[in-house]
Amino acid sequence: MKVTIPNIKISSIAACLPQSEVDLESFFDLYGKEETEKIISVTGIKKVRYVSGDEISSDLCLQAAEYLISMTNTERESIDGVVFVSQTRDYIIPATSPSLQHRLNLSKDLVAFDVPYGCTGYVYGLFLSSMLISSGSCKKVLLLAGDVNSKTINKMDRSLTMVFGDAGTASIVEHSTDESIYFNIKTDGSGYDRLIIPAGGYRNPSTQATQEVTERENKNFRSDEDLYMDGMSVFNFAITEVPTIIKESLADNHLEVGDVSLYALHQANELMLKYINKKLKADRSKVPFCASEIGNTGPASIPLMLSTNYAETTEDLSKSILCGFGVGLTWGTALLSLNDTKIFKPIIYNNQV
């Protein structure tokens, strides 16, 4: 699916990180010093951020949103759409986005959607937000994207524990007189089981057996209610499909690889970005990796990267490509200008609020 939606922009972005920082060297006892150091050197992830208390994705997104609303002097009444992108929502029923409307004290004249996507989620959420505005349904959409991955993984599954982190973000998407966003989104559901929590939903309801932690492939331990990732398949998928969709997106817009100001790729891990860029052949400085002290934060990773690296930047971001890829399997790009986007540095979650 490809479309260019006219008169749309991301006007502002903020992010919220959990307080707790976990140095991955603390896993020496669990996985062994040598193995742990090797994993750190390959993924480029030295520390991850985990929520430490009862806080979950909507709490992190809520604080990012409050901060964004305050910093941009946005009238709450002017927000008439909420899109909440997360795989770690408050409840199975109801959706979380209505409660965020209430908790943020937003207008009742508002449409609210949950989008249960992971690493492609920000592109999906941006697409949905843009559609709401383009159709005339909304004037200003609050796009919230975050996950508490630490609650979905088993600490004895080193393939995930050493990579994933938690974060929440907030962006405001609204009408623009002169900007547009090109989207290119693809879906291949045959890979639904490459990244999956197999049980606890309605296909395989929770039972005592699905909660049992057992040894799985390659000395990893987890239950069927923990996240599983077929690492090699996901790696193959990413390094094959991501360069292809980016090149396709460039061709559609009559751009060369070198014309792009910023490749804001999902921050999976440093190695993944390295091999994607080996195919893309972009200037390495334009394909930043900034999750070395945060971890892979799923749908939050693209706005969090922008918040971490490009807050109040004077760099030209007029041709920025956002690219998400992962669970589903899904992948997608958004080509847009971020020159007029107010980007704020990440804040740390305040559990006293």
**Distance from C-alpha of 159 to C-alpha of 156, rounded to nearest angstrom:** 9
Give helix 270-280 / helix 33-43 axis angle, nearest 10°: 40
State which of residues 250, 276, 305, 327 lies at the interface with other proteins (CB under 8 A). Answer: 276
What number of CA atoms fall less than 13 Å from residue 31's CA on the CB side? 23
Regarding 30 and contact with other proteins (CB under 8 A), the answer is no
41 makes contact with other proteins (CB under 8 A): yes
Closest distance between other proteins and the C-beta of residue 353, in Å? 38
Distance CA 135, CA 45 (A): 41
Between 239 and 260, CB nearer to other proteins: 239
Q: Which stretch binds other proteins (CB under 8 A): 39-47, 55-63, 75-83, 324-332?
A: 39-47
Q: Please count the residues of this chain forming the interface with other proteins, following the rule CB under 8 A.
A: 26
Q: Which stretch binds other proteins (CB under 8 A): 21-29, 64-72, 154-162, 343-351?
A: 154-162
Start-to-end CA span in the chain (Å): 42
Residue partners of 219: CB distance under 8 A and separation at least 6: none
Please, which residue, 160 or 305, has the CB nearer to other proteins?
160
Q: Which of 15, 39, 51, 133 binds other proteins (CB under 8 A)?
A: 39
Asked whether position 158 contacts other proteins by CB under 8 A, the answer is yes
Provide the β-strand partners of residue 332. 185, 324
Contacting range for other proteins; rule: CB under 8 A; set: 40-48, 55-63, 135-143, 287-295: 40-48
Compute the least distance from the CB of residue 239 to other proteins, in Å: 5
Position 275 contacts other proteins (CB under 8 A): yes
Q: Which residues contact 33 (CB under 8 A, 6 or more apart)?
A: none
Segment contacting other proteins (CB under 8 A): 31-39, 62-70, 123-131, 175-183? 31-39
Encoded tokens for 58: 């909507």
263: burial class by Cβ within 10 Å (0-12, 13-18, 19+)? buried
Q: Which stretch binds other proteins (CB under 8 A): 10-18, 158-166, 182-190, 300-308?
A: 158-166
Q: Which is nearer to other proteins, 97 or 159 (CB)?
A: 159
Q: Angle 237-280-48 (CA atoms, 0-180°, nearest 5)?
A: 60
To the nearest whole angstrom, how small is the minimum distance from the Cβ of residue 47 to other proteins? 18
* Residue number, 130 or 267, with CB nearest to other proteins: 267
Q: How many Å is the Cα radius of gyration of the chain?
A: 19
Q: Contacts with other proteins in 296-315 (CB under 8 A)?
A: none
**Cα separations in angstroms, 321 against 35, 132, 265, 283, 313:** 35, 21, 8, 14, 17
Q: What's the Cα-to-Cα distance from 61 to each of 31, 145, 336, rounded to whole Å?
A: 32, 7, 23
CA distance 60 to 169: 7
Q: Considering the complex, what minimum distance in angstroms separates the CB of residue 220 from other proteins? A: 8
Nearer to other proteins, 12 or 154 (CB): 154
| Binding positions for other proteins, 207-246, rule CB under 8 A | 217-219, 230-232, 235-236, 239-240, 243
- Using the rule CB under 8 A, which residue among 159, 267, 296, 330 binds other proteins? 159
Comparison of 45 and 250: residue with beta carbon closer to other proteins: 45
Q: Could you say which of 175, 279, 319, 342 contacts other proteins (CB under 8 A)? A: 279
Amino acid at 47: K
| CB of residue 263 to other proteins, shortest distance in Å | 15
Phi-psi region of 224 (alpha: psi -120 to 50; beta: other; left: phi over 0): alpha
> What is the DSSP secondary structure assignment for residue 296, as one 8-state letter?
B
290 within 8 A of 309, measured Cβ to Cβ: yes
Residues engaged in binding other proteins (CB under 8 A) = 34-35, 38-39, 41-43, 158-159, 162, 217-219, 230-232, 235-236, 239-240, 243, 271, 275-276, 278-279
